[in-house]
Chain A
Amino acid sequence: MAIVLVLLAEVVTHLPTGSAVHQSVGPEANYVIRLVGTEQQWGVFAPDPRQTSLRIEGRVTFEDGSTAVWELPEGNRVGGNFRFYRWRKWLERVRSDDFQGLWDPTARWIASLYGDRGSAVAKVELVRMFHQNAITGAQPPYQDFTYHTYYVDEPEKLSS
């Protein structure tokens, strides 16, 4: 019986959020599957696959005016894929407007990577790069947009 209840709860969590069933028992179902640790996401490439390609850059400006660019770590596609898929998932979220709470800590972390340079970091700009995917032919160039700027303040420099 427990198996059936867990399965039913899982089905309910995947119902359209506007449906009457989801609205009446969705929160309870969600609570149950999380309590027993069986939450699932069966919405891969659904309802539609994403139609844009994404990249992210951290553009670092130092106090002496020099610059550096932080890019997403990548690795071997055979074997390394089991590690770097997590960075790709992170990219999807950290560049999203739905996850604005991640922006400042991310920029601060990128700044910390350059703490051993001769000049201190003055600011980090998070830049989202994207293009609409074309099914056939050459892909359009990436457009870029600076969506968050983090200025390193003096107390932080002293503490680092």
Chain B
Amino acid sequence: MRIAWDGFFFAPQSTAPMTLVRVGWGAATAIWALSLLPDIDPFYTEGALLYERSLQAGSWNPLPRLGWDHTALAMCLVLLVAAVSTMVGLKTRLSAAVSVLCLICLQRANTVIFNSGDLLLRQVGIAVLLAPCGVLWAVDATRARRRGRPPELLRAPFAMRLLQLELAVGYLLSAWTKTRGSTWHDGTAIALSLRIEDLQRFVAPEWLFEQSLLLNLFTWAALAFEATFVFLVWPRRLRLWVLSAGVLFHLGIDTFLDIGFFSVAVYLAYLAFLPTDLADKIVATFDRHALADPSQRRRSAPMPLAVEPAE
């Protein structure tokens, strides 16, 4: 049990999956900041749509205490710069920490304008902050190699595991919450979701709503996907199939429903599940060190990975 635990959370392995998460998260967070800039006024302006609301116990936020009218604007600009810095791997951990801090402050300062996708984007950022994801395809790594101190490529994956477990458990919680409703049982939930006009992005064709059998199947398939993800995503032979199904599922959501960064954040979390050999190959397209010295890498991974024997 102890060996399996240590193997799962701490056996050194490639940082390539989290490198991909880092680059994608930096880009997505920069877009998040850019898309917020035009609405800083009114959403963060006193006397406009910045409402006085008390936060729940445990929530901290220094932003309202700073007392300067342009704090939110400044924080959004800092977030933009920090996110780009994280994306390119410049002062990776520091820039990720600053980005996450800015996200927390901005999201908590006006809670009425954000959805679950924003929280998930922040969660991905916390994993990036904790992970050693600046050792590949990063300015930090290039500088370190120039100084003759190449970074260790194999690292304990506990932050990646946190992100994987957050997503997998999250899907399960989502399925569980849905089982308390009636429309997921009777198979009409997808049709009803697509009919919410104030959430529509592209309107689903009218003929689709006549296909009640198909809509029943979509509803139950979505529920089944969420309920089983936590079990099916770990075996190597199923993983890419499960992730592909998830991408299709979220592409469907994203096409028809305007839910901001939710699907983007999920795709980023999916990157953490990529098999390391595949992630290594992708990262090696841009950074040859991802595939450097495979013999050393095999020696460096003494712990058996109980859940992922193929890796």
Q: Interface with A: B71-79, B108-116, B240-248, B298-306, which one? A: B108-116
A133 to B194, CA, bound (A): 10
Majority DSSP secondary structure for residues of B touching A = helix
The verdict on A109 contacting B180 (CB below 8 Å), with A38-B123, A88-B199 known, is: no
Interface positions, chain B 125-179, Cβ under 8 Å from A, are 126, 158, 161-162, 165-166, 169-171, 173-174, 176-179
The verdict on A135 contacting B191 (CB below 8 Å), with A7-B165, A37-B104, A38-B123 known, is: yes
Least CB separation from A44: chain B residue = B116
Residues in B whose Cβ lies below 8 Å from that of A11 = 169, 173
Q: Interface with A: B36-44, B62-70, B277-285, B287-295, which one? A: B36-44
Q: Check A22 for interface membership: any CB of B closer than 8 A.
A: no
Contact of B178 among A10, A45, A99, A109 (CB under 8 A): A45
Q: Interface with A: B18-26, B87-95, B182-190, B231-239, which one? A: B182-190
The verdict on A34 contacting B56 (CB below 8 Å), with A16-B180, A48-B189 known, is: yes
Majority DSSP secondary structure for residues of A touching B = helix
Q: Check B1 for interface membership: any CB of A closer than 8 A.
A: no
Contact of B260 among A40, A42, A81, A93 (CB under 8 A): A81
Contact of A31 among B52, B57, B182 (CB under 8 A): B57
Number of residues of chain A lying within 8 A (CB) of chain B: 61
Q: Check B192 for interface membership: any CB of A closer than 8 A.
A: yes
B169 and A10 form a contact (CB under 8 A): yes
A13 to B15, CA, bound (A): 31
B189 and A109 form a contact (CB under 8 A): no
Contact of A43 among B52, B58, B174, B261 (CB under 8 A): B174
The verdict on A89 contacting B114 (CB below 8 Å), with A35-B60, A54-B198, A109-B49 known, is: yes
Residues in B whose Cβ lies below 8 Å from that of A127 = none
Residues in B whose Cβ lies below 8 Å from that of A106 = 49
